[in-house]
Structure 1
């Protein structure tokens, strides 16, 4: 079992797309490869291809949705996807805390059964959301 989670090869490296999938930073390996190809993954400050090898001590930066960046230090390389408690032991998370969610009341929620909004209703909802870039009229 130790050879399965430690990487298994003599060099002690594993592909970066496979590693970020194994430690559950992305949902699938193909998403990890797409992130690498899109320039969203950096190892030690350099953009890398999906086949780039990571080893213990490397710093991996992964830019995720909504501009959030995960910064992790590789503690252990693994090839296979493992459970979340084991995956957390494979890296040290140095990411900044996520921004707080805004407690804003959702605009434009309609009662059930009221039908489609009229053109006037739709324009009022867009003004409340600020979609058109116009301030709400009093």
Structure 2
């Protein structure tokens, strides 16, 4: 089964930006994640919001703003090398 969308909290967890889904959900609920899709930027407010390949995500990690492009959705929370294949960092 090929997925075309994934919950943002699940994706952040699979991509290893958060240690748990609840931490990822809290990050989203605080309004700390911005999503850019088709040139329109929005601040995500619910962990159930979907992310698609090609979307840009912007959030703060370790005191620095990170912008990345979602390349894949992943099927599980795998090793770091597998997680790294889910995104590409975007230089701003």
Please give the range of the TM-score, normalised by the shorter of the 2 chains.
0.7 to 0.9
Larger Rg: 1
2:73 aligned residue: 77
SS of residue in 1 equivalent to 2:26: helix
**TM-score, normalization: structure 2?**
0.84
Separation (CA, whole Å) in 1 of partners of 2:59 and 2:49: 14
Q: Which has the higher helix share?
A: 1
Deviation at 1:26, TM superposition (A): 1.3
Q: Which has the higher strand share?
A: 2
Deviation at 1:64, TM superposition (A): 2.7
Alpha-carbon distance change, 95 to 27 in structure 1, aligned in 2, over 3 angstroms: farther
Q: Determine if the alignment matches structure 1 residue 52 to structure 2 residue 44.
A: no
1:129 aligned residue: none
The runs of 4+ residues in structure 1 deviating greater than 3 Å are: none
Structure number with the bigger relative contact order (C-alpha 8 A, sep ≥ 6) is 2
Of residues 22, 34, 45, the one that matches 1:30 is 22
Q: How big is the alpha-carbon RMSD for the aligned residues of Structure 1 and Structure 2? A: 1.6
What runs of 5+ residues in structure 1 fail to find an aligned partner? 97-138
SS of residue in 2 equivalent to 1:76: coil
